Amino acid sequence: MSNHDEEKDTASRADEFLQVFKKGAEFTQDLLKENEKLRFRIVKLEETLKEKGHAVVSETPDAVALKQKIEALEQEKEEILGRIKLVEEENQNFANRYVEIEEENNMLANLYIASYQLHSTLDFKEVLQIILEIVINLIGAEEFGVLLLDEKTNRLEPVASEGVETSALPSISIGKGIIGAAVKSGENYFIDSMEGYVRDFEKPIVCIPLKIKEHVIGVIAIYKLFTQKDEFTNVDYELFTLLAGHAATAVFSSRMYSDSERKLSTIQGFIDLLTK
C-alpha cells in the first residue's frame, strides 16, 4: 500500500469515529432532557400529592375532632401545669410557715417555762438562782451579774453572779456609766460590736434593767457569752423583755415576802415576850 492510500484510510476512520462520537453526544443530550422532564414531573407529582393528602386529612371529620381534642388537651395541660406551680408555691409557703410556727411554739414554751419558774417560789435566793439559770440556759451567757437597787443608798449592789465572783462586781451609782445609765433610762443596752471586747465590769456587752412598770429595781449585766453563742436571736430579745418584767416582780415579791416573814417573826417574838 502506498503512502497516499494509507492517509486516505486514516481519514476515513477518523471521520467514522467523529460520526460515532456525534451520535453519542446527541444521545446524551436526549437523555439529559428526558431526565430533566422526569424530575420536573416528580416535583409536580409530589406537590399534587402533598396538596391532596393535606386536603384529605383536613377535610376528614375525625381528623377535625382529633385536632380539636388535641388543642383542648394542650390547653388543659397548660392549666394543670399552672395549678401545679401554684400548689407547689403554696406548699413551700406552708412549709416555711410551719417552721416559723414551730419556732414560735418553742419560743413560747421556753418563755412560759422561764416565767413559770420565776414565779414558782417566794424564796429570794431561789428566785436569784432561777434568774441565773434562765440567763445561762436560755440566753447563753457565761459571765454575768445581777445587781439590785439599794433604795437607802440609791446604788446598785451585786447580789448574784455566774462565771465571776459576786464580790468582784462593782457597786454602781444610778446614772453612772453604762449600767447606771441603763437603770436611769430603763432601756436595755446592747454593745454595738462584740469584736475586740475586753471584759470590764462597768462596761457590759448587755445590760437589762429589771423593771416593774417604770420602776427599776435592778439590772442584769452580761460580760461574756458562750463560745458557741456569737449573736443574739429574736428569742433572746423576747427573753430580755420577759426577764425585765417577770424577774423584777419575782425579785420584788420574794424580797417583800422575806421582809414580811422577818418582821412577822420579830413581832411574834415581842408578842411571846409580852404574853409570857
Partner 1 sequence: MTGYKVLVVEDSPTMRQLIVFALKRIRGFQIVEANDGVDGLKKLSAEKFDLILTDINMPIMDGLKLVSMVRNDPNYKETPIIVITTEGATEDRERALALGANEYITKPIQTMKILETVKKLMSI
Q: Which of 142, 164, 166, 177 binds partner 1 (CB under 8 A)?
A: 142
CA distances from 261 to 110, 130, 194, 251, 257 (A): 32, 21, 44, 15, 6
Residue 106 binding partner 1, by CB under 8 A: yes
Per-residue binding letters, 176-215, with partner 1 (x by CB under 8 A): ----------------------------------------
CB of 245 to partner 1, least distance (A): 17
| Span from 27-35, 81-89, 90-98, 139-147 in contact with partner 1 (CB under 8 A) | 139-147
Measured from the CB atom, the residue of 134 and 156 that comes closer to partner 1 is: 134
Measured from the CB atom, the residue of 174 and 235 that comes closer to partner 1 is: 235
**What distance in Å separates the CA atoms of residue 191 and residue 241, rounded to the nearest whole number?**
17
For residue 179, give the H/E element and its range. helix 177-185
CB of 163 to partner 1, least distance (A): 10
Q: What is the 3-state secondary structure (H, E, C) of 116-143?
A: HHHCCCCCHHHHHHHHHHHHHHHHCEEE
CA atoms within 13 A on the CB side of 168: 12
CB of 113 to partner 1, least distance (A): 5
Residue 238 binding partner 1, by CB under 8 A: no
Measured from the CB atom, the residue of 94 and 116 that comes closer to partner 1 is: 116
Residue 95 binding partner 1, by CB under 8 A: no
Residues 210-229 that bind partner 1 (CB under 8 A): 226-229
CA distances from 147 to 36, 105, 179, 207, 216 (A): 111, 32, 10, 11, 11
CB of 130 to partner 1, least distance (A): 6
Report the chain's terminal Cα–Cα distance, integer Å: 188
CA distances from 143 to 124, 161, 198, 201, 272 (A): 21, 8, 12, 10, 47
Instruction: Give residues in contact with partner 1 (CB under 8 A).
Output: 102-103, 106, 109-110, 113-114, 116-117, 130, 133-134, 136-140, 142, 226-229
